[in-house]
């Protein structure tokens, strides 16, 4: 059992002997509707960086990146509700980005962190961005991977009727206890690697499999995706660009942004550039363009890890002695296919 220690702060990069293997330590955090699952990488006796994955991914998308950085700094990567091993939200509700923002506060309150450090990919980056502009004094650093801000979607009202109908459809299937389509593990890996136009390289798709599927109840030898289908319904309302730009300009913490050369553009790029320019005005924003796809942190993490390490060495100055792991979080039984 890993125990919470009383760290004596000399440096945020002082190595602790209390760290796990490259697979991370499985954890659970209680929330009102169940639990949030995740993994802890690095020393367990200091406050970690909270890591947030992308849409329909899970915390194992960071499985190749975080072990490259976590010998001297900790990371807590969680599965968002409805993803991975985390509980789904109650029936009758739908997923919204602000629900994830509130989840960050639940995690902060659970640990009683005086401040929070955030890293996010895609959806996770936009959620971390939102939390930071809402709580600028609570965030000591922000790392965004191939996304910076929530989508400012033109004409969203025109698509809401279809989204609501789709939500009702998925709720009906759940009431009827209809099992999702089943696949072989090879088919699962192929589907993951084809998602978002091949963003995840096939040779790394297996890292996302374990937390994405469970054995089919009706077709032996096949597997069903376990993520909540309601996740496919994107936000019914949007943040306004005129709020996001001044929010970015008012950020007080250091910001690291990495964009992939073959990443995704989910909206008109003028909105992204406006926010990026506002972040640069703060004077403590690093902006990098790296070779790779939207999942550059999974496909080719080595260069990215080196840049993040340099960023942390320069800007990670906050006290991390309060907020290490709690005994009741640790899950002894690991999930296996």
Q: What is the tens place of the pLDDT at every residue in 128-163? A: 999 999 999 999 999 999 999 988 866 566 678 888
Residue recorded with tokens 């955030």: 118
- Nearest CA among 93, 99, 48, 102 for reference residue 70: 48
Closest CA to 326 of 82, 112, 14, 117: 112
How far apart CA 140 and CA 241 sit, in angstroms, is 24
Work out the mean pLDDT of the chain and round it to a whole number: 89
pLDDT of amino acid 157: 65
- pLDDT over threshold 90, residue 186: yes
How high is the pLDDT of residue 182? Answer: 97
Topology, domain 25-151+239-329: Rossmann fold (3.40.50)
**What's the mean pLDDT in 282-295?**
91
Give residue 173's pLDDT: 85
H/E run at residue 99: helix 97-111
The catalytic residue positions are 122
Q: Which residues contact 325 (CB under 8 A, 6 or more apart)?
A: 2, 4, 25, 27, 40, 44, 45
Q: Which position has the higher pLDDT, 308 or 269?
A: 308
pLDDT (0 to 100) of residue 335: 58
CB 79 within 8 A of CB 36: yes
Contact of 211 with 79, CB cutoff 8 Å:
yes
For the chain, which residues make up each domain, given as ranges? 25-151+239-329, 159-232
Which of these ranges, 6-20, 36-50, 116-130, 142-156, has the smallest mean pLDDT?
6-20
| pLDDT tens digits, 162-185 | 888 989 988 888 888 889 999 999
pTM: 0.90
Categorize the per-residue pLDDT at 2 as very low, low, confident or very high, splitting at 50, 70 and 90: very low
């Amino acid at each position: 059992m890993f125990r919470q220690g009383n760290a004596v702060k000399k440096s945020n990069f002082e190595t602790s002997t209390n760290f796990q293997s490259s697979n991370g330590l499985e954890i659970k955090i209680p929330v009102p509707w169940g639990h949030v699952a995740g993994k802890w990488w690095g020393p367990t006796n200091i406050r970690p960086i909270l890591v947030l994955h992308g849409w329909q991914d899970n915390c194992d998308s960071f499985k190749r990146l975080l072990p490259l950085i976590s010998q001297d700094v900790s990371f807590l990567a969680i599965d968002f509700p409805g993803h991975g091993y985390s509980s789904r939200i109650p029936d009758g509700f739908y997923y919204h980005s602000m629900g994830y923002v509130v989840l960050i506060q639940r995690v902060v309150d659970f640990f009683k962190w005086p401040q929070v450090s955030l890293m996010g990919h895609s959806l996770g980056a936009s959620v971390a961005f939102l939390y930071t502009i809402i709580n600028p004094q609570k965030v000591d650093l922000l790392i965004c991977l191939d996304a910076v801000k929530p989508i400012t979607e033109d004409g969203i009202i025109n698509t809401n009727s279809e989204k609501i109908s789709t939500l009702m459809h998925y709720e009906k299937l759940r009431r009827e206890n209809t099992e999702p389509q089943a696949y072989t593990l090879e088919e699962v890996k192929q589907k993951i690697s084809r998602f978002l136009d091949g963003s995840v390289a096939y040779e790394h798709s297996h890292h996302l499999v374990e937390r994405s599927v469970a054995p089919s109840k009706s077709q032996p030898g096949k597997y069903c995706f376990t993520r909540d289908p309601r996740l496919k319904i994107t936000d019914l309302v949007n943040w306004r660009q005129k709020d996001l730009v001044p929010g970015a300009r008012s950020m007080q913490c250091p910001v690291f942004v990495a964009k992939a050369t073959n990443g995704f553009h989910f909206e008109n790029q003028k909105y992204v550039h406006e926010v990026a320019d506002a972040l640069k005005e703060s004077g403590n924003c690093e902006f990098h363009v790296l070779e790779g796809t939207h999942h550059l942190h999974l496909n080719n993490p080595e260069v990215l890890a080196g840049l993040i390490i340099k960023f942390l060495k320069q800007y990670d100055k906050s006290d991390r002695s309060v907020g290490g792991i709690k005994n009741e979080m640790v899950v002894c039984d690991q999930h296996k296919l």
